[in-house]
Amino acid sequence: MRGLIGEDILTEEGEFIINMGPQHPSTHGVLHLKIWLDGETVKRIQPNLGYIHRSIEKMSESLSYRNFIFATSRMDYLAAHVNNEACALTVEKGLQLEVPQRAKVIRTILSELTRLQSHQLWWGCTGLDLGGVTPFFYAFREREAIMEIFEETCGARLTQNYMVPGGIMYDVHPNFQKRVKDVMIQIKGKFEEYDNIMTGNVILENRLKGVGYLSKEDALSYGVTGPTARASGLSCDLRKSNPYSAYDQVQFDEILDTGGDCYARYMVRMREMRQSVSIIEQLIDNIPEGDFQAKTKNVIKLPKGEFYQRVETPRGELGVFIVSDGAASPYRIKYRSPGFSNLSALPIMAKGGKIGDLVAIMATIDLVIPDIDR
């Protein structure tokens, strides 16, 4: 009996090695976990990456500062707007360019819509992973309405490429405001339905409560960010601490929970959705008139130096680091993606738990594999 990579599948200590993935329905993509099991108890986990590596960082080195942004839509495909915004903000930082107020507000609205639809998809997939198919369809119903906003204004549903250095690519569609308001009313009415169908459910509570505990200290030392860290009580919302775009003009709460288990992570995301709706409602009536894009030169050249900008994606902190040598394309680009750091904390969360709980933990970290492995 030989394992896939030439090791015995039974170790000397009597532990059983299995490979979960790369094709596994609950890993949401090509994540490969090598798991050491004692009976049904997880002893050790080793994530293996590389199955969906497209070398986006290396590719960007040969593209101009306008062109490299499109590839980031394919990193975290559920948060393309936020990824594009992060790149655009970094280039603007290098150019010391002031973005028109209108573009800032529209960027913020679209980012929050992205967060809403991403959390809705996560909510549906969590239900699916835990054995309930119904939530998936309920989540997609409201998500589809947001997707239509994106489709009408940006022309695409997932890979929008709408944020460009200097602002947004073209002005919003005339129907934008009306459609967003309608969708917000629709979604607000459905939160109660979400809670009825999943949050209070006894099966869900039994599967999530006390499972996959992550302490505040571990969250900090592993660099965990986003709702996963906030559920452990770690305050890390960049929208609050380092506001970018129009986040300094809106009132919202940073959602914190002290539970640290899967249920806390679930509740943090559910409450964050309501905050996103509140942010959008504050901004949608106050989109200032004016230019939607600042004037930029035909060929953008960043001055020599290093530029870093971080934003809060639905999954955590995305950092874009550009090293420029003064040429028309970046010398080096590094993305600090939220999924990679969050995945690194998975082994300590799942250690000592059952293999069935591992699926629940993976669901509540909200992994997007192309984001982990760029």
Contact range with other proteins by CB under 8 A, out of 20-28, 92-100, 165-173, 307-315: 165-173
Radius of gyration of the chain (CA): 21
Of 173 and 271, CB closest to other proteins: 173
Coil vs helix vs strand at 316:
strand
Nearest-angstrom CA–CA distance, 107 and 168: 8
Q: Which of 154, 246, 270, 311 binds other proteins (CB under 8 A)?
A: 154
Contact range with other proteins by CB under 8 A, out of 7-15, 50-58, 150-158, 312-320: 150-158
Q: How far is the CB of 14 from other proteins (least distance, A)?
A: 37
Q: Is 66 a residue that touches other proteins (CB under 8 A)? A: yes
Q: How far is the CB of 11 from other proteins (least distance, A)?
A: 40
Nearest-angstrom CA–CA distance, 64 and 299: 8
Q: How far does Cα 75 stand from its chain's mean position?
A: 10
- The pair phi, psi for residue 180, each rounded to 5°, is -65, -40
Q: Which of 38, 144, 218, 291 binds other proteins (CB under 8 A)?
A: 144
Q: Which of 200, 251, 289, 297 binds other proteins (CB under 8 A)?
A: 200
Residues 71/73/74/76 CA torsion (nearest 10 deg) = 130
Q: Hey, CA dihedral for 195, 76, 258, 132, is it positive or negative?
A: positive
Q: How far is CA 226 from CA 34, 64, 229, 241, 314, in A?
A: 25, 30, 6, 13, 7
Indicate the DSSP class of residue 132.
Answer: -
193: tokens are: 């339905």
Q: How far is the CB of 369 from other proteins (least distance, A)?
A: 19
Q: Is 67 a residue that touches other proteins (CB under 8 A)? A: yes
Nearest-angstrom CA–CA distance, 96 and 81: 21
Q: Which of 57, 152, 218, 291 binds other proteins (CB under 8 A)?
A: 152
Q: Which of 71, 311, 343, 346 binds other proteins (CB under 8 A)?
A: 71
Q: Which of 161, 232, 275, 337 binds other proteins (CB under 8 A)?
A: 161
Contact range with other proteins by CB under 8 A, out of 39-47, 93-101, 197-205, 340-348: 197-205
Contact between 365 and 228 (Cβ < 8 Å): yes
By CB under 8 A, name the binding residues for other proteins: 63, 66-68, 70-71, 134, 138, 141, 144, 148, 151-156, 159, 161, 164, 169-170, 173, 193, 196-198, 200-203
